[in-house]
Structure formats: C-alpha cells, structure tokens
Structure 1
Amino acid sequence: MPKASALRCLIVLLMTSLPREAPAQAPPSPFAAIYPGRCETPASERTGDAGCYLLTTEPMDGLSEAVYWHLYTYPTLAIAQAARSRNGVAVQSHGKFWVFTVADQQWKPANGERVAVIGPLHLERGARYTARYMESILPPEMRGGAGHTHSGPEAFYVLSGAQCLETPDGTTVTNAGESVIMHTAHPMTLSGVGAENRRAVFIVLHDSAQPWITRGGTWTPPGRCPR
C-alpha cells in the first residue's frame, strides 16, 4: 500500500476511535418544576410557600348572566362565618379571614371591610355554576398552569408582588391591589414577575357539569412575559 494511502487510513482510524463530544443541552427551564398543589390540594395540606391550593368550593344558586366577586375581610373566622350569606363562603387565606360572595354589583354585606369588587363575570344562561376558590404563591421564577382553560370565567386579586397573564391575545401584568379577569375557555398561563413572590386569591366560576380546568391543548405559550 502506498505511504499516502496508509497515512490516510491511520488518520481515519484514529478519528473514529476518539470519544465523541456529547451534544450541547439547553439549560433546564426555570418553569420546568411542577406547580406545587396544582390548585387541587386543600390549603390545609400546604407543605411550602410556593404553589396553588384549594380553599373551598360552593355550588351557586340563582345567578344572573353578569355577576361580581365581592371580597370582604373580618377580624376572626367566626365573625366571617356569621357574616356570610347566599352564595358566600368564609375562608382563611394569606393570614386574613375572608367572606367571598358572588352576587350582583350592587350587593353589600351588613358589615366587614371591603377589599375589592371584581367583575363582571359573564355566565351562560341556563347553566349551573360552582365557585371554586383558591390561593396561590407564585415566585418570580415559576410559571403556573401552562396552557390551560376553564369552563367558566376566572378572576384574580393580587395581594402582593406581581403576575403576568399570557394568552393568545398578549400579556397583562397585574400588581398588588389589582385584579384581572379571564373569560371562559380562553387559553392562558401565569408567571410571577418582579422581585418578590406574588400572593393572590382567585375564583374559577365554572360550569358544574364540566371539569373546572382542562390542561394542555393546541396553544403553546411563547413566553412573552417579562422576567
């Protein structure tokens, strides 16, 4: 064999015997972790700060096609329980005692400190609804519920920090003391933004004959929220 051919064979042999470099891997996504609680574990079973947990559910009665979520606080849970009325619930969340009530815009309780009145939440005529109340703590590096929909309107009230709501229509940033509403069956995902944990209470007023949430779907969040 000529010397040139032998040299080429030796080079090829050496190259094929060398260990191949592993392909570069993308760094793990900060949103890869499962959202603790998944908004289904009772708040009494909370094991850490971050996550979404269920406060309570309440079947609704005699709602109009446009209702409002009324948020009031009370000094103790016993006083809150005594103050609740039709389509209202008393809960403890984020260190406060609340009465959450779904009613017309003009509704007012006999007492309590008004925090917010959020609406209108638009409902389907003739459908029966269940109010599902939840609390969540969303750190800035975490996203909750990527690409999901609800069988009814959803409303958030942010107590501290800030969140970014991402939908196919764009993004909405909501800060402490503000609220935001999502309409029925609209794809969405949430991200914590800013420097502190976002703390919020929220309601999904869903069709009682359907699941309250549908995860997944054809829409993939493009990640337009600020970080």
Structure 2
Amino acid sequence: MKRSWIYCVALIAAVGLAPAAASAQSKLVIKALAEKKVQSLPDGPLFWQIENFATLGEAQAAAGPMGLAVESAGKVWLFRLGPAGLKASEGGRQVTQVGPVPRITAADYLLRINEASGPPGSITSIHSHPGSEAFYVLSGEQSIRSPHGVMRIRPGQSETGQGADVAMQVSSSGATDLRALVMFVVDANRPFSSPAKLPD
C-alpha cells in the first residue's frame, strides 16, 4: 500500500511538472512599429526599398504615400513599396531591396512594419496573414517554417515570405538573440493574423 501511494505521488508530480516544462519555450516578441492604410498599390512587381536616415523626421519627410519610417536597433529606417530599382531618397542611404513580394487584391491595403525579437529558441504560434510579408534580419537567425519547408535568414540577409493565407511559424534559430524587421502588404479589411495549422 505504501509503495502504491509513493508511486501515485510521483506520478502526480510528473504530470504537474509537464506543463511547466512545455511552457518553458519563450514566445518570440512581435512589435508593430508603423502601419499605413492605402487604397491601391503601385502597378507591376512590388519591391520593398530599405534605407537608413540620420533622423526620424528626415525619413518621415521622404516616406511618400507608400513609405513607412521607423526606429529600430538604434537606427532610423525607411521602407518604401514600389517597383524594382527605386533610387535612394534624398538624405537616405540604401540598405537593400526585397522582392518581388506576392501581390494581393483587396478593397483596401495595410502596409505594416513589425519588429521580431527574442532569444534562441523563442517561437511564434502557427499563424497566417491575409497578404505577403518580407524579412530583413539585423542579428541572430530567423527561421520560417511553412508547408514549403524551412527558410533560414541570417544577419544582413533579406527574403520574401509566403503569399496570403499560408500557414507559418517563425522562430529565433541562431546562437544569439534575433532582431528582424518584417514588411507586410495585407488586406486591411481582414484580421491581420489568424491561427493556422501545419503538418506534423
């Protein structure tokens, strides 16, 4: 009897510890830095032009109808959506150009810049967006798991993501903390993010 009681206590303790162990994996921190609603998109293939500026005011002045100015990692960034080969804005220094990003059709569009950050192993829930996204990694390594496989992006690299409504899970997969900037073109009249499922 005593042995059975000890076994039951040990089993309860193990079950009680299981949720704590499962929740030890930290969540990737997602922060919206800027967004803008627009009624139409530029014609043709779409690219994100990324530039650095000395001040936020200068970046905002150069943003135009398709631009978003933000501060991240001690720098000022301007993201402009447009055709390939956009010239750097006056006062700006071109960093890179990302695209083409998958186009969508909607009554209204939301342009948004998010910052993703977290220690190695941090991860998002599985989700989807009603539009396209693109990534630029500042530090660490970012992995994006989708039905098409796993995409890994290292510091200084940029990539276009999946199209609308594709399930994905994003994680910090490097040896150091992740910091990445994420560019979105989504349907403004649908939820920005929705729960989704990926194959096991």
Residue 212 (structure 1) aligns with? 192
Q: How many matched pairs?
A: 191
Write the distance in 1 (CA, Å) between the matches of 2:123 and 2:24: 5
Q: TM-score, normalised by structure 1?
A: 0.75
Deviation at 1:66, TM superposition (A): 2.9
Q: Relative to 1, partners in 2 of residues 1:126 and 1:204: Cα closer, same or farther, differing over 3 Å?
A: closer
* Secondary structure of 1:28 counterpart: helix
Residue 33 (structure 2) aligns with? 55
Residue 86 (structure 1) aligns with? 65
Write the distance in 1 (CA, Å) between the matches of 2:95 and 2:23: 33
Q: Match for 1:208: what amino acid?
A: A
Check the 8 A contact 2:143/2:170 in 1, yes or no.
yes
Check the 8 A contact 1:83/1:109 in 2, yes or no.
no
* Secondary structure of 1:143 counterpart: coil
Residue 103 (structure 1) aligns with? 82
Q: TM-score, normalised by structure 2?
A: 0.85
Write the distance in 1 (CA, Å) between the matches of 2:193 and 2:76: 26
Q: Relative to 1, partners in 2 of residues 1:97 and 1:143: Cα closer, same or farther, differing over 3 Å?
A: same
Check the 8 A contact 2:68/2:113 in 1, yes or no.
no
Write the distance in 1 (CA, Å) between the matches of 2:146 and 2:166: 8
Write the distance in 2 (CA, Å) between the matches of 1:32 and 1:188: 18
Write the distance in 1 (CA, Å) between the matches of 2:197 and 2:122: 22
Identity of matched residues, %: 29
Q: Match for 2:179: what amino acid?
A: R
Deviation at 1:139, TM superposition (A): 1.2
Residue ranges of structure 2 left out of the alignment (5+ in a row): none
Write the distance in 2 (CA, Å) between the matches of 1:20 and 1:147: 37
Check the 8 A contact 1:130/1:207 in 2, yes or no.
yes
Deviation at 1:179, TM superposition (A): 1.4
Given candidates 111, 120, 129, the residue that maps to 1:150 is 129
Write the distance in 1 (CA, Å) between the matches of 2:135 and 2:3: 59
Q: Match for 1:99: what amino acid?
A: L
Structure 1 residues 161-220: Cα deviation after superposition (integer angstroms, max 9, x where no partner): 1111111221111100111222211100011122111111111211011111102x3336
Deviation at 1:15, TM superposition (A): 6.3
Judge which range, 84-93 or 17-26, deviates more: 17-26
Residue 44 (structure 1) aligns with? none
| Structure 1 stretches of at least 4 aligned residues deviating more than 4 Å after TM superposition | none
Check the 8 A contact 1:65/1:122 in 2, yes or no.
no
Q: Relative to 1, partners in 2 of residues 1:17 and 1:97: Cα closer, same or farther, differing over 3 Å?
A: closer
Q: Relative to 1, partners in 2 of residues 1:161 and 1:34: Cα closer, same or farther, differing over 3 Å?
A: closer
Q: Match for 1:77: what amino acid?
A: L
Structure 1 residues 147-172: Cα deviation after superposition (integer angstroms, max 9, x where no partner): 10000001110011111111122111
2:119 counterpart of 1:132: no
2:6 counterpart of 1:19: yes
Higher relative contact order (Cα pairs below 8 Å, separated by 6+ residues)? 2
* Secondary structure of 2:87 counterpart: coil
Write the distance in 2 (CA, Å) between the matches of 1:17 and 1:147: 41
Write the distance in 1 (CA, Å) between the matches of 2:107 and 2:4: 69
2:174 counterpart of 1:194: yes
